[in-house]
Amino acid sequence: RAGLTSGVVTAGGEPVLGFDGDGLFSIAPPAPRRIADVTGAGDALTGATVAALLNGLPLRAALREGIAASILAIESTEAVPAFSAANFAQMLALVPGALEVA
């Protein structure tokens, strides 16, 4: 009863797997337009996902935001990528919704 109620598993550029109260799901990240540096992609995914969760989004929607941030990090040559709300919104629009995993 005190076990995990949700979680996430990543594997590089492969679909992100997650589980929540509604079941198991995956989200396939869009391919980066270019790969500048993969360093920090996982940190960007985690940070943006946690921020979205703290803002009240459910896990599936929060992970979409994390994936968008990670793609922007991969495409950036900066150690700490800076991007605008418009850049983020454009990338988020490319991240598909969660698909149920049977």
Does 17 reside within a domain? no
Domain count, the chain: 1
**pLDDT score, position 83:** 87
Q: What is the DSSP string of 36-85?
A: S--TTHHHHHHHHHHHHHHTT--HHHHHHHHHHHHHHHHH--SSS----H
Residue 89 has pLDDT above 80, yes or no: yes
Does 7 reside within a domain? no
**Nearest Cα to 65, choosing from 84, 45, 43?**
45
Does 9 reside within a domain? no
Contacts of 70 (CB under 8 A, 6+ apart): 29, 41, 42, 44, 45, 48
pLDDT digits (tens, 9 = 90+) for 3-54: 899 999 999 889 999 999 999 999 999 999 999 999 999 999 999 999 999 9
Residue 1 has pLDDT above 80, yes or no: no
Does 3 reside within a domain? no
Does 87 reside within a domain? yes
Does 76 reside within a domain? yes
**pLDDT score, position 80:** 82
Q: Which domain holds residue 72?
A: 30-95
Residue 99 has pLDDT above 80, yes or no: yes
Calculate helix-pair angle for 41-54, 59-75, nearest 10 degrees.
150
Does 20 reside within a domain? no
pTM (2 decimals)?
0.94
Q: Is 87 helix (H, G, I), strand (E, B) or coil?
A: helix
